[in-house]
Amino acid sequence: MKIDVITIFPEQIESFAKFGIFRIAKEKGVLDFNVHDLRKWTTDKHKSVDDKPYGGGAGMVLKVEPIYNAIEELKTDKSIVIAATPQGTPLSQKYLRELSDNNDAHYIFICGHYEGFDQRILDNYIDVEISIGDYILSGGELASLVIIDGILRLLPNVLGNSQSPVSESFTENMLEYPQYTRPEDFKGLKVPEVLLRGNHSQIALWRDNKARENTLKKRPDIVKKV
How does pLDDT run across 19-42, given as a tens digit for each residue?
999 999 999 999 999 999 999 999
Q: What domains appear along the chain, each with residue ranges and CATH number?
A: 2-152 (3.40.1280.10), 167-226 (1.10.1270.20)
What per-residue confidence (pLDDT) applies to 173?
A: 79
Half-sphere exposure of 90 (CA within 13 A, CB side): 4
What per-residue confidence (pLDDT) applies to 38?
A: 98
pTM for the complete prediction?
0.88
The span from the CA of 115 to the CA of 110, in Å, is 14
Per-residue pLDDT of the chain (226 residues; tens, 9 = 90+): 999 999 999 999 999 999 999 999 999 999 999 999 999 999 999 999 999 999 999 899 999 999 999 999 999 999 999 999 999 999 999 999 999 999 889 999 999 998 899 999 999 999 999 999 999 999 999 999 999 999 999 999 998 755 555 555 555 678 999 999 999 999 999 999 999 999 999 999 999 999 999 999 999 988 777 6
The span from the CA of 11 to the CA of 67, in Å, is 19
- One-letter identity of residue 183: P
Three state DSSP letters for the chain = CEEEEEECCHHHHHHHCCCHHHHHHHHCCCCEEEEEEHHHHCCCCCCCCEECCCCCCCCCEECHHHHHHHHHHHCCCCEEEEEEEEEEEECCHHHHHHHHHCCCCEEEEECCECCCECHHHHHHCCCEEEECCCCCCCEHHHHHHHHHHHHHCCCCCCCCCCCCCCCCCCCCCCCCCCCCCCCCEECCEECCHHHHCCCHHHHHHHHHHHHHHHHHHHCHHHHHHC
Q: Give exposure, 148-172, as e/b (b: 16+ Cβ within 10 Å).
A: bbbbbbbbeebbeeeeebeeebbee
Q: How long a stretch of residues is the chain?
A: 226
What per-residue confidence (pLDDT) applies to 199?
A: 97
The span from the CA of 76 to the CA of 142, in Å, is 25
**Signed CA dihedral, 215, 216, 221, 225: sign only:** positive
Residue 131 and residue 89 in contact, taking contact as beta carbons nearer than 8 Å? yes
Let me know the angle formed at the C-alpha of 159 by 177 and 104, rounded to the nearest 5 degrees: 120
What per-residue confidence (pLDDT) applies to 165?
A: 56
Residue 107, strand partner residues: 3, 80
What per-residue confidence (pLDDT) applies to 170?
A: 59
